[in-house]
């Protein structure tokens, strides 16, 4: 089964019903629930999503949403090795470099992002 890492924006699109991306993001996330792909999210994205949601819906609801999400999605660990590799990366956006290196370490084949492609 193909391993796919979802950028935090894809998850936020669905959880926060953000327009105009919610429909497309929900479609790709449904591939996980229908067991067509094995879904991943980077470890640092989990804390970012919680932080954003806690401000919008409160801590308890944010924890419940994340718990439900993580029943279907694996976490690509952000380790010492991942951080050191990201620091050596040619990518200009450090957060993207960390995500990319975490995906590589987890054996992820594809990273799905919500925003339009831009040079990084």
Helix (H) or strand (E) holding 5: strand 3-6
Mean pLDDT of the region 14-43: 92
Mean pLDDT of the region 12-26: 89
The position carrying tokens 């439900």 is: 68
* Tens-digit pLDDT profile for residues 54-100: 998 899 999 998 999 899 999 999 999 999 999 999 999 999 999 99
pLDDT band for position 119 (cuts 50, 70, 90): very low
Which structural domains are found in the chain, ordered by start?
3-112 (3.40.50.1010)
> Which of 112, 87, 92 is closest to 30 using CA atoms?
112
CB 76, CB 40: distance < 8 Å: yes
> Cα–Cα distances in Å, from 52 out to 12, 14, 66, 94?
9, 13, 12, 20
């Amino acid at each position: 089964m193909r391993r796919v890492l979802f950028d935090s924006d894809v998850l936020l699109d669905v959880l926060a019903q953000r327009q105009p991306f919610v429909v497309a993001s929900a479609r790709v996330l449904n591939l996980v629930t229908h067991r067509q792909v094995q879904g991943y999210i980077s470890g640092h994205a989990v804390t970012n999503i919680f932080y954003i949601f806690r401000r919008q819906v409160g801590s308890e609801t944010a924890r419940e949403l994340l718990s439900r999400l993580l029943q279907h999605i694996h976490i690509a660990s952000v380790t010492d090795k991942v951080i050191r590799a990201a620091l050596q990366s040619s990518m200009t956006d450090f957060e993207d470099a960390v995500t990319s290196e975490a995906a590589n370490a987890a054996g992820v084949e594809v990273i799905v992002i919500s925003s339009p492609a831009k040079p990084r």
